[in-house]
Amino acid sequence: MKKILLTLALAMPVCASAQTVGKGGITAGMLSQIKKAQTTAVTDRALSNALAANSIDDLALTADNAEAADTHFSHTVPSKGITDQKQSGRCWLFTSLNVMRAAMIKANNLGEFQFSQTYSWFYDQLEKANLFLQAQIDNAGKPMDDKTVDWLFANPLSDGGTFCGAQDVITKYGVVPAEVMPERYSANNTSRMSSLLALKLREYGLTLRKAVASGEKGKKLEERKTEMLSTIYHILTICLGTPPEKFTYTLRDASGKAISTKEYTPKSFYDEYVGKDLVGDYVMLMNDPSRPYHKTYTIDYDRHTYDGQQWTFLNLPMDEIKPLMVASIKDSVMMYMSCDVGKCFNRKSGVLSLNNYDYASLFQTDFPMTKAERIQTHASASSHAMTLMGVDLDESGKPLKWMVENSWGPTAGHKGHLIMTDEWFNEYFFRVVVERKYVPATLLDELRQKPTVLPAWDPLFAEDK
């Protein structure tokens, strides 16, 4: 006891002196100056009182913003049924499947139809677990404080993702109708299952590193990893159910009449009713003004399967991306699109507009950062994927606003959709996946460039959730 007290007594002066060394802290004189700069206006007190019981957005809301009431669109892709990802980060998967189901509904004159999100997510989680474990084997010779190793342990897996993940998982495992593998609690509420999987994977990651250090390699390591994945698979089946290998399904048209009843595998169902080459038929475009345009980029570990495709995109200015999206919508083809959905968002109206909130008047200061500056400082990034399905064009063909089919249920936003002004779109749109046939040959040529490889911790890695 005396030794502990003595150690603490000796340590305290050192800590105290360390806190006062150097310049840069808030001094008494500086604090006095800060306080004197504050206004004493009656309106400030009134605002402070109002904010004691109300949100900032409630007070900053622009009540007479006409954009919040404008729901007319000149061009929309027909849609049937709004999906709901509930308390999960699976927007990327819902959006990818919604793009595919829209085409399937149109081609077969179906009523409301959904693919099973749970089926695809089951294999997404299994593949992400394998990606993490194999990456630990690959990097086992590096120290724990290596940037890549540290990032891997910080991000063993998540329920977020991007279109490239859907490409690989769906191409590899096919799809099934929602009725064949329906949603369960842990699919709709992912946090607890995801945290337990992450905890188990971190444990396994350490085990694999120790195994490599002790001389294990080759088949022995693969057997160890396979045993670990068996446990992950078991947890997934307990939480989500067992994915079907075969199923019998009756497809019905919009009137309820049976079109066909057949036995399928998930792959044969995909081949018959979707049939797209998800890897070859689509290109990914990005607007990031903080980096050079007309260059391709890829992000290390930005994939869902170890043997899959890393997300590779062509960075373009907005005025070159918009015509491609307009062409797709006019042709009744939906698109995977993602943006920074939380910015300037009026959740009651479902409208995203730069004029929704007047924070400048409320706080007597503006917020002038450019899109490039927000990206560089982590103030803005792609955060949510949705299905782009509408554009409102003026008489000259210029976009006025855009509409997306969201995955937050039919009562969220404008009947399950969100409306984005074109000015907002310029500031907070990030990426879109367009069918290759809408992309000019000159841009397709640029996509063949050798991409610049960015590290996994780059701001652009941000997953859609």
Angstrom distance (rounded) from CA 34 to CA 36: 6
**Does an H or E element contain 286, and which?**
strand 282-286
Q: Which of 304, 384, 417, 426 is catalytic?
A: 384
Angstrom distance (rounded) from CA 356 to CA 362: 13
Note if 384 is an active site residue: yes
Angstrom distance (rounded) from CA 90 to CA 194: 12
Angstrom distance (rounded) from CA 153 to CA 135: 10
Instruction: Using the CB atoms, write b or e for 409-429: b if 16+ within 10 Å.
Output: eeebbeebbbbbbbbbbbbbb
3-state DSSP call for residue 137? Answer: helix
Query: Among 46, 190, 178, which Cα is nearest to 118's?
Result: 178
**Does an H or E element contain 452, and which?**
strand 452-454
Q: Which of 65, 91, 98, 239 is catalytic?
A: 91
Between the CA of residue 189 and those of 16, 172, 382, what are the distances in Å? 46, 25, 22
State the amino acid at position 246 in one-letter form: K
Query: Among 22, 47, 162, which Cα is nearest to 94's?
Result: 162
What φ, ψ does residue 310 adopt, rounded to 5°?
-75, 145
Angstrom distance (rounded) from CA 110 to CA 184: 25
In order, the DSSP letters of 337-352 are EEE-TTTTEETTTTEE
CA atoms within 13 A on the CB side of 420: 28
Q: Which of 139, 287, 356, 406 is catalytic?
A: 406
Catalytic residues: 91, 384, 406
